A and B are shown apart, each in its own frame.
Chain A
Amino acid sequence: EVQLVESGGGLVQPGGSLRLSCAASGFTFSSYEMNWVRQAPGKGLEWVSYISSSGSTIYYADSVKGRFTISRDNAKNSLYLQMNSLRAEDTAVYYCARDTQLVRWGQGTLVTVSS
């Protein structure tokens, strides 16, 4: 069974950093593109970042470019999102999702940026 499990969320002060992880299982992780998508409380879905299967191609939403870094470790079947210079508007549930058509999603991890 395909599973994506996010972790690493929590409460962080403005300007702080956080690293999210997404553990994948049930499929050949190294063969699939991955994405991070977030959802602010009571709001819609917002795409955050994309990484190709090899990690050689990366894209970011304008709202996070220069502050967030996506990466992956295919040997560990894991996807990461390093978030720096966090702002209140980054408060959201962060989901990892597989493929460009977002076929599978994790359950999400909540990031709260507040003093």
Chain B
Amino acid sequence: SYVLTQPPSVSVAPGKTARITCGGNNIGSKSVHWYQQKPGQAPVLVIYYDSDRPSGIPERFSGSNSGNTATLTISRVEAGDEADYYCQVWDSSSDHAVFGGGTQLTVL
């Protein structure tokens, strides 16, 4: 089955740029979606189809996907960005949705 690998944690100072990676075999050939989840809340889609932003998501959130790594980039990080972030793809070979293990973003 397809596996997505994320770092368990990323720390960043306010105002700096956070980059959260999502590794998978030839993930560049798949569409990657990213979700933000704050404690006690349902996940929220922040990036879809690699780099598109849903309405209401700040431009500070961006995504890229190439080769074996997809990346969620959060510019000018704010305290309110502190959350768990998950990447997700649809694995057409198994007809399963697959999530990465999640990355806890800490704003220092």
Which A residues are within 8 Å of any B CB, using their own CB? 35, 37, 44-47, 50, 59, 61-62, 95, 100-108
Contacts and interface: CB of A to CB of B under 8 A. Distances in A.
Interface SS of chain B: strand
Contacts of A106: 42
Contacts of A61: 96
B91 to A, nearest CB: 10
B90 interface: yes
3 closest Cβ contacts across the A-B interface? A47-B97, A105-B42, A44-B102
Contacts of B44: 105
A45 B42 contact: no
A100 B97 CA distance: 8
A44 B97 contact: no
A100 B1 CA distance: 18
Interface of B: 1, 31, 33, 35, 37, 42-45, 48-49, 54, 84, 86, 88, 90, 95-102
A44 B6 CA distance: 11
A101 B33 contact: yes
Given A45-B102, A105-B44, 18 more contacts: A35-B97, A37-B97, A44-B84, A44-B99, A44-B101, A45-B35, A45-B99, A47-B97, A47-B98, A61-B96, A95-B43, A100-B90, A100-B97, A101-B49, A102-B45, A103-B54, A105-B42, A107-B42
Max chain A CB contacts within 10 Å: which of B35, B49, B54?
B35
